[in-house]
Amino acid sequence: MKSIEPAFRHTPAAIRICPESILLKQKSLWMGSCFTENMSPWLQGLGYEIESNSFGVVYHPMMILKLLHARADELFPYSFERDGVWLNFLTGSAFAARSESELSDQLVQAAERCQSALRESNWLVLTFGSAFLYHHHALGPVGKCHKLPASGFEKKLSSVGEISQAWVSAIEFIRKQKPDLKVLLSLSPVRHSRDGLEENAVSKSILRVSISEICRRLPSIYYFPAWEIMTDELRDYRFYAADLVHPSGEAIAYLQQQFELRFLHPEEGKIRQLARELQQLRQHRPQAEWSPAYRQWQEHIQEKEELLRKAKTL
């Protein structure tokens, strides 16, 4: 794991170890902003079973909630055609098709994956990105505008009460069927600069207070301070990508390290290290498949896989 060098002056966020660790044998459903895309593939590579963003990146808490429970037929009315491509106002551009039926098939599969994961998961992990919600003049609240003219939408700022009450009610409802479900919340560290920096500050503040209220009102709700780590502990543009709003690779690695310290069980650290070593070994594949180096590489892969398998059975 890459860490920030000691010479870098920073104000560290307090490390609060979660009393309920995420275990390798457990399943998780992740939904939310693009920060989810930085974290879930990393955990999958370490051997964690995760269903991540079944419907693509979603920024607003109310849209995450809508998709979490949505049946496929409830999504179909939001589909539309533009320039020969079928899209959906609730899902990202990854859901694009040549026909309405093809897009409907994609939505059916996504809804099935999401609902199956919700039924089977021990953890629900949510990353809120923005408190600004776009209302389509005909369809109501939507998750994506797909670069259509702004005149077709109304932009509204949701309140702390709307967000927190909706999610408290939703979690209570889910726990009637899954009483042991644990929930992990985070606030995306990505600034929505297109809204304006002042507007983004208000939006993030609403989301942060909403998260605090949800954590206060329900048990087994936890928070990962990704926003605080980026804006306070790593408050230097060296930790941002070229667009100056997304975390850089170094910052993402540090956030992953901090997540591991807080939420992954320390007794499974050896297994995670073996998984990292196996990942690195696979990335150094020799070019010539007929060479002795390639055969040695295959043998090392098999040895590491066997060590990992044995470690998981202990």
What digits encode the pLDDT tens for the residues 257-281? 999 999 999 999 888 988 888 778 7
Note the helical H segments in 49-126.
61-69, 72-75, 100-120
The band of 6, judged by pLDDT with boundaries at 50, 70 and 90, is low
Residues 1, 257 contacting (CB under 8 angstroms): yes
Report the SS3 class of residue 276. helix
The CA distance from 111 to 66, in Å, is 11
User: What separation, in Å, do the N-terminal and C-terminal C-alpha atoms of the chain show?
Assistant: 24
Nearest Cα neighbor of 67 from 43, 49, 48, 88 is: 88
* H-helix or E-strand spanning residue 28: strand 27-32
283/219: higher pLDDT = 219
Q: What are phi and psi of 82, to 5 degrees?
A: -145, 120
- pTM score of the predicted model: 0.90
Model confidence band, residue 132 (pLDDT cutoffs 50, 70, 90): very high
Q: Can you tell me the distance from the alpha carbon of 185 to that of 128, in angstroms, rounded to the nearest whole number?
A: 8
In the structure, what pLDDT confidence band is assigned to residue 189 with cuts at 50, 70 and 90? Answer: very high
Looking at per-residue pLDDT, the higher value among 215 and 296 belongs to 215
- For residue 1, the model assigns a pLDDT of 47
CA–CA separation, 148 and 88 (whole Å): 12
pLDDT at residue 36 greater than cutoff 80: yes
Higher confidence at residue 311 or residue 70?
70
Q: What is the mean pLDDT of residues 228-250?
A: 93
CATH 3.30.70 fits 27-264, yes or no: no
Average pLDDT of the chain to the nearest whole number = 91
- Other C-beta atoms closer than 10 Å to the C-beta of 141 total 18
